[in-house]
């Protein structure tokens, strides 16, 4: 289907290239995406569909329309502009029939209130390296740099390689890649020479539970983690999102400890489940998959940290 979707009449292959990437956010002064103060660049496209995903706009590898209905004044300009009858006003509020939408983005152009917005912008490697280099003084003073995140950065591997290489060769920036691990090993091999830190997410060690929660099994992910550690080319930080009723049992944590205790990773972090991304699902016309999932009980992360430490790990809570 991707080849039929256009962004302002630009075919998808035009922005999935070595020189361009599809980006949905640039976050400056980030302190949660690697060492020091960082500029985090978020790539659009991910092979996983984690039910708790806090950035659902990152998942599809093409631009999408966000609808913030609270801003809508019911003017109807978007409906008049749509050539596919994909828009109507439901009780005076805009509604997009997304299967009918061709993503021509004309409705966004005429929206006077910002109700309709685009997530996913084509940017060149040169543009993004320039963006990242603007804050060199903060990187130098804090030991920070630039982080390529997502989605999954290696969903656009040619772009990722060229961006990281240019950050290194032209500005000697500290670089980090935040990955779910589900990518070809050949692509990891290509980025490692230009990557200082790998932020590696681990969701669940059981392949069927991993499939249940993310839409894919974990064999490739675990194999890539071992290969990255063995390659010894980048510092490795393992991050474990702790999801209520999914991976927060002591049995699962014991399995994690057994796997990680002999791995020379630099840092292990426990990240508590939250619903920060829940409103974005509504903006995209989707239902939140984890509706009704309770937050972790107060003190639970500290209990799990102590349990893992008793198994020989050193770790932190939070980023």
d(CA 17, CA 287) in angstroms, rounded, equals 32
Query: What band does 293 get if pLDDT is binned at 50, 70 and 90?
Result: confident
In this prediction, residues 8-34 reach a mean pLDDT of 80
The reply to whether 21-62+121-317 and 64-119 are identical in fold is no
| 200 in Cβ contact with 217 (< 8 Å) | no
Task: Please enumerate in sequence order all residues whose Cβ is within 8 A of that of 153, keeping only pairs 6 or more positions apart, or say none.
Answer: 43, 160, 177, 178, 179, 191
What is the pLDDT at residue 5?
38
> Looking at residues 36-59, what average pLDDT do you find?
96
Topology classification of domain 21-62+121-317: TIM Barrel (3.20.20)
Domain positions in the chain? 21-62+121-317, 64-119
CB contact at 8 A, 23 and 310: no
Greater pLDDT, 3 or 227: 227
| Range 265-275 average pLDDT | 95
> Is residue 294's pLDDT more than 80?
yes
Of the pLDDT bands very low, low, confident and very high (cuts 50, 70, 90), residue 7 is very low
Q: What pLDDT does 292 receive?
A: 85
Task: Give the ranges where 123-276 is alpha helix by DSSP (H).
Answer: 125-133, 136-142, 157-171, 185-191, 207-214, 219-231, 250-260
Asked which of 92-101, 186-195, 199-208 is least confident by mean pLDDT, the reply is: 92-101
Q: Output the pTM of the full model.
A: 0.93
According to DSSP, the residues that pair with 95 across neighbouring strands are 88
DSSP-assigned letter for residue 180: -
For 103, list phi and psi in degrees, rounded to 5: 60, 40
pLDDT of residue 90: 83
pLDDT at residue 92, rounded to an integer: 86
Among the ranges given (7-21, 76-90, 127-141, 276-290), the one the predictor scored with the smallest mean pLDDT: 7-21
Summarize pLDDT for 59-78 with one digit per residue, the tens: 999 999 999 999 999 999 99
Q: Is the pLDDT of residue 8 over 70?
A: no
pLDDT band at 249 (very low <50, low <70, confident <90, very high): very high
Give the tens place of pLDDT for each residue, 198-213. 999 999 999 999 999 9
Q: Helices in the chain by DSSP H: which ranges?
A: 77-81, 106-110, 125-133, 136-142, 157-171, 185-191, 207-214, 219-231, 250-260, 278-283, 300-310
pLDDT digits (tens, 9 = 90+) for 134-155: 999 999 999 999 999 999 999 9
- Residue 218: per-residue pLDDT: 97
CATH architecture for the domain at 64-119: 2-Layer Sandwich (3.30)
């Amino acid at each position: 289907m991707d080849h039929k979707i256009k962004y302002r009449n630009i075919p998808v292959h035009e922005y999935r290239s070595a020189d361009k990437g599809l980006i949905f956010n640039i976050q400056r002064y980030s302190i949660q995406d690697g060492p020091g103060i960082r500029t985090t660049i978020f790539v659009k496209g991910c092979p996983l569909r984690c039910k708790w995903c806090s950035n659902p706009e990152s998942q599809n590898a093409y631009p999408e329309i966000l609808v913030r209905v609270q801003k809508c004044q019911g003017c109807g300009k978007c409906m008049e502009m749509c050539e596919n009858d994909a828009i109507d006003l439901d009780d005076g509020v805009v509604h997009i029939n997304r299967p009918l939408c061709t993503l021509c983005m004309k409705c966004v152009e005429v929206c006077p209130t910002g109700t309709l917005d685009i997530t996913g912008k084509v940017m060149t490697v040169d543009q993004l390296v320039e963006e990242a280099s603007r804050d060199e003084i903060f990187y130098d003073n804090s030991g920070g740099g630039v982080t390529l995140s997502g989605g999954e950065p290696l969903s656009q591997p040619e772009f990722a390689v060229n961006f990281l290489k240019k950050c290194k060769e032209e500005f000697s920036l500290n670089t980090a890649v935040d990955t779910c691990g589900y990518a070809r090993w050949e692509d990891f091999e290509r980025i490692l020479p230009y990557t200082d830190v790998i932020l590696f997410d681990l969701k669940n060690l059981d392949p069927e539970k991993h499939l249940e929660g993310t839409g894919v099994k974990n064999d490739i992910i675990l194999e890539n983690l071992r290969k990255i550690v063995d390659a010894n080319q980048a510092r490795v930080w393992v991050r474990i999102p702790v999801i209520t009723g999914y991976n927060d049992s002591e049995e699962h944590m014991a399995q994690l400890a057994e796997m990680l205790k002999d791995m020379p990773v630099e840092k292990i972090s426990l990240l508590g489940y939250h619903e920060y991304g829940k409103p974005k699902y509504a903006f995209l016309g989707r239902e939140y998959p984890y509706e009704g999932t309770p937050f972790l009980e107060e003190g639970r992360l500290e209990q799990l940290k102590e349990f893992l430490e008793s198994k020989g790990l050193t770790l932190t809570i939070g980023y």
